[in-house]
Amino acid sequence: MIAQAIKETLEAKGWRVSHCGDGAVAVLRLASDASYNLLLCDNQLPSLSGLELVIYARTLPRRRAMPIIMFSASECNREARLAGVNVFLRKPQDVGKIIETVARLLAPSGRTS
């Protein structure tokens, strides 16, 4: 439900969003030649955790510089940062920060956290 609301909010701002509700499917998409400008993930995904997904993404040469936001209710901020997350947002209290965070990370000079 939250994922759908975030997707709709981002699309309303003009971003194209590809939703993937399963970690194993996300791995396949990241391994593909598809172009993605940003990864926004929860830590709790079916098949594998968001942390595992981030670690995998950072092993792929074409995904190493891609900004990653983890949006989670889990207490894993430190682990997320160590895995390679640029920004960690708490669910649900930080939902209002999604748009500004995505805009900042996708801005030409916004690749810092």
Parent domain of 25: 2-106
* Alpha helix positions (H), 1-113: 2-12, 23-31, 50-59, 77-83, 98-106
pLDDT, residue 113, reads 40
Is 23 inside any structural domain? yes
- The tens digit of pLDDT for each residue in 30-55 reads 999 999 999 999 999 889 999 999 99
This prediction's pTM: 0.90
- Count how many domains the chain has: 1
What is the pairing mode between strands 68-72 and 87-90? parallel
Q: Across the chain, what does the average pLDDT equal?
A: 91
Instruction: Please report, for the domain that includes residue 26, its CATH number.
Output: 3.40.50.2300
